[in-house]
Structure 1
C-alpha cells in the first residue's frame, strides 16, 4: 500500500495570515490516532453577544497512523471533551466542522456569521474555512455541549484511509481564561474474524490547551457582521435501515410500501426486498448497513416483538433474530446515541402492543403510522430531521398582578 497516496486533508484554512499554532497537543496519541499542532485564534465576537465569555476558533489537526497489515476499519471516532476544567459548565462548543453527512461533489467554503455559526458562502476568497470533497461520511455529535466527536465512516471496501485529518470548532470559555483542559479519546471498528473476541480500547489522554495568544501575533478572526449569510447547504437526506420480520406476505407488502413512501419523501431507505439480486451473506449485509445509517426503523409485528424480547427459539426467523441482537447490543453499549437512532414504527395493520418492550414504546416514543401517506409519516420524518412541529415562543414578562412584592412593602 502506498501511504503517500492515501493522505487526505479534510479541512484546510483559506487564509493562514496571522494564525497562531499551539504545539501542546503535538504527539499526544490514543491508539492509532495522533494529534498534531492545533491552530488557536481569538474571535472578535460582537459586543453583548456572549457576555462573560471569550470565543476561540480552533483547528484540530490529527493523523490516523495504520500499520500495513492492520485490519480494515469501517469507522474511526475521535472525541474531545472540554468539560474537565473548574468552569466546565461555562464551556460550550458553539459549532463544528465537519458537521454531518457524506462529502461528495464540489468543495464548499464557510464563513463565521455574527452568531458564530459556520454557514456556506459563495466567495471562497473571503471564507474562514474551505471544505474539500471527500469519499467517506463524517457523523458529528456534541455541538451545543461541552465536547465534540467525529466518526469517520467508510462507504467503500477499503475502510477509513490512513493520513492527515482536521476539524474546526468554535469554543466559548469563561472570559479571561488562558488555558483549557482537553480530554482526547478514540474508538475504532476493526474488521476481524467473527470468532475473534476483540474490541479495541484505549485510555483517554489529557492535556491543557493554551488560549492566550502572544501580543505580537494576535491572530484574531472577525465574523461576518454586515449581513446574515444564508445557509445554502444542499438538502440532507437521512439514511434509514428498515428492520422487520417476515410475519406474512401481507406484512412484507406493507413494509415495502412503507419503504417506498420514505424514499419518495427524501429518505435514503434500505430494506432487504430491494437487494434480492446476487447471492449474499445477509447477516453481513444487515450488520454493515445498521452501523452506517443515521436511523433504524423497527416495524412492529408479533414475530419482531418476540425476536427482540427473547421469546424465539429454534431455527426459524434467523434474519430478524440476528438484527435484533445487534440493535440491542448497540442500545446497551451506546444507550443515549442509539435510543434516538432506533425508531419503533407501527404500520396501519399493526398494534402498539407488538412493539418490542426492550425498545420502550411508552417510556420513550413510538411512531404510529395510521396512513401510508406523507402526512402519516410526518412525525417520523421530524424525528429524523430534528424539526419540531411547534416552536417555543420567546420568554415574556410576568404579569404585574402575580409578581411577588418587595420585602417590607406587603400591605
Structure 2
C-alpha cells in the first residue's frame, strides 16, 4: 500500500524511486489493539545518539502529541488527531483554511502509496525476463490493463514511456474514474493521455462487457486481489484475466506479508512527505478468515487530518495460495519476485527529534538512483535490460525460485503467464 509521482505540482520532492516504499517504518506490535485504532508504544529513539547534531528541522513538519503523554503510554491515531484538533483550536489564525481542505485525499494517496515510474519499469522487466518462457509475440509489451486503477496514474505513466503504448484502466467507483479524467488525465495530463482509456466496471463481470481488447499485461497492484475475500471470487477473477490476455500475456499482482505483518497486535507505521505524514494502520488478522481491516490516514503539517481517508477489508493471501490459484485458473506457469523490507523505522512519539527531517532529506537524495543503477530518465523502452533484481531502495525486487525462510516483512509480485 509506495512513492513518487514527481510530475505532480506541490510534491516535487517525492521523486519516483526516491522516498516512498523504501521508507516503510517499523511498526510496534501490541496485544489488545482496539477496533478504532492500533496502539503504539511511545518510546525514545535508541538511534538518536548515533545521529549527527546540529540538524535543522523543517518548520512545523511534525506536531507531536500532547505534552501530557508519558513515556510508555499507549498512543493511538485517535489520540494524536484529538491532540492536533485542540492545538488547531488554540493556534489557528482566524480565516485560515486548514490544509486538509486544500489537498484532497487522492493527491495524498498518489504521493504516498503509488510509484508509477518504478512500477512501469518493473512491469516491463518482468515481461521481458519471462518472454523466453512464454508465447509472447513481442520483445516489449505495448498494451496494459490496470485493474482497480483508481486515479489512473499508472496508466498515464505507462503511456508516457513510449508513443506505441496504450492503456486501459478499470475501477468500480465512478467517482474516482471521474476524478481521473478531470485531474490525472485532464489538469495534470499530457498528450500521452489520449492513449489512456478508463472504464467504470467490475473485473468479475464477463470480460466482453468491458469492451477492452486483449492486452500484453494485466496489472492488479496496491494489493487489489486482496479485495477478494472469497477464494471462489479470486479464481473467477484469475480466469477472467487469463481470457483477457493476448498470446503470451502476463498477469502481475502484488501481495504483502511477513512475520510482523501477522502480529497479534496489528501494526502502525508512518512516512513523512513535504506537506503531510502518511499513516498506515492495520488491525490484527482474524485467525479464522485471514481478514484484516486497513486504514490510511494523512496528517498535515498544520495539524489537520484526513483521518481514515481510505479503509479496506483485505484478505491477506499467501504466495503459495496465489500461485496455486493461478494454476487452477489455467495459467501455464507462475513466478515470484520478492522484496524484503529492510529499511524500516519505528513510529515514534518523540516529537522533539531535531535531526529526523535532515536524515529524511539525505535518505531521499541517496535513493534517487535505483539500486540497479537506473534513474527515472533512464526507464524507457529499450534502455532497461532484463535483470533478476530491480526496484528502488529497500524495495529491490529479486526473483525467487525454490524455498525461502520467513521474513519479517515483504512485498511480492506474483506473476502468471499463459
Q: Same-fold call, TM > 0.5?
A: no
Q: Which has the higher helix share?
A: 2
More strand by share: 1
TM band (smaller chain) = under 0.3
Scaled by the length of structure 1, what TM-score is found? 0.22
Rg: which structure is higher? 1
When normalised by structure 2's length, the TM-score is 0.22
